[in-house]
């Protein structure tokens, strides 16, 4: 007879998994999601627009120049938010992968499909703005530095995810393969985060950490916070709009397939 503790631990784990699954599946109904998404959309879109405009204007025209970097430090106000979103977007894909593989959540696969291209575009912007900042500061567009290389790997992971999820005739196989890649690729996220600590890199260490005080002036921190929050809400708004469109397109395909089935059924029955 197995020890009682093992059995109860298993029951607790199963119960927790089932409860979490039920919680997620409550929002899996397409109609409920579309209603909730329509209500949420303006609350993401308009604050994103306002915060981004204020943050960009502040960073570009009113924040002080850096004593070492001069005005090129203003690139930070677009580079740092895109770097944050590049990692966050992939974290979103990894979460969708867990929801898809463990609970077979129907919206998780669609969300992963829609996050991919947006995340890839933002990662490309992060790499490009980093190069545009690096050229005047380091004297070169690119170095094979641990931070830069790990972000480049993230960009390729996004491209791989986009390609893999659309690579199969049967969508479910593509979703499953992409979910495995999404989970495996998440190992790159701590490498990106800690690369500046683990290796001697040309890229500067983090100026803002969870535990320590920020190492930059508040006059720079404010516009950076505003653009980061604005871009994050904007990312959410774009992904939500794409996901709503994807759910509607999926619903359209279902209705059209059902209509085709109804139309072809009597002809088939009439054949002797």
Which residues would be at the binding site for other proteins (CB under 8 A)?
52, 56, 60, 70-72, 74-75, 78-79, 82, 118, 121-122, 124-125, 128-129, 132-133, 135-136, 231, 234, 237-238, 241-242, 244-246, 248-249, 251-252, 255-256
Min dist CB 42 to other proteins, Å, is: 13
Nearer to other proteins, 98 or 132 (CB): 132
The alpha carbon dihedral of 159, 162, 165, 167 has a sign of negative
Nearer to other proteins, 141 or 198 (CB): 141
Nearer to other proteins, 97 or 129 (CB): 129
The alpha carbon dihedral of 168, 172, 173, 174 has a sign of positive
Distance CA 214, CA 219 (A): 12
Cβ distance 192 to 44 under 8 Å?
no
- Beta-carbon contacts of residue 140 (< 8 Å; ≥ 6 apart): 134
For residue 70, the cross-strand partners are: 66
Nearer to other proteins, 7 or 136 (CB): 136
Distance CA 226, CA 47 (A): 10
Nearer to other proteins, 177 or 229 (CB): 229
Distance CA 137, CA 77 (A): 16
């Amino acid at each position: 007879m197995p020890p009682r503790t093992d059995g109860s631990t298993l029951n607790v784990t199963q119960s927790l998994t089932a409860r979490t699954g039920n919680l997620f599946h409550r929002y899996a109904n397409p109609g409920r999601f579309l209603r909730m998404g329509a209500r949420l959309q303006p609350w993401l879109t308009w604050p994103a627009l306002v915060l981004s405009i204020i943050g960009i204007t502040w960073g570009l025209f009113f924040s002080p120049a850096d004593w070492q970097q001069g005005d090129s430090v203003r690139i930070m106000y677009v580079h740092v938010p895109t770097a944050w979103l590049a990692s966050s977007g992939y974290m979103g894909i990894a979460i969708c992968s867990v929801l898809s593989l463990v609970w077979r959540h129907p919206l998780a696969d669609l969300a992963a499909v829609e996050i991919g291209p947006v995340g890839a575009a933002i990662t490309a912007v992060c790499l490009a703005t980093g190069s545009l900042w690096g050229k005047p500061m380091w004297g070169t567009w690119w170095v094979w530095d641990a931070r830069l290389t790990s972000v480049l790997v993230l960009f390729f992971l996004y491209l791989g995810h986009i390609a893999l999820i659309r690579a199969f005739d049967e969508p479910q196989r593509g979703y499953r393969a992409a979910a495995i890649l999404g989970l495996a690729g998440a190992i790159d996220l701590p490498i990106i985060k800690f690369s500046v600590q683990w290796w001697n890199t040309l890229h500067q260490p983090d100026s803002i950490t969870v535990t320590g005080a920020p190492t930059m002036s508040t006059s720079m921190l404010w516009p950076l916070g505003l653009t980061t929050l604005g871009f994050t809400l904007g990312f959410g708004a774009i992904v939500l709009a794409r996901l709503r469109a994807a759910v509607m397109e999926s619903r359209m395909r279902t209705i059209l397939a059902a209509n085709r089935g109804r139309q072809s059924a009597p002809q088939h029955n009439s054949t002797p």
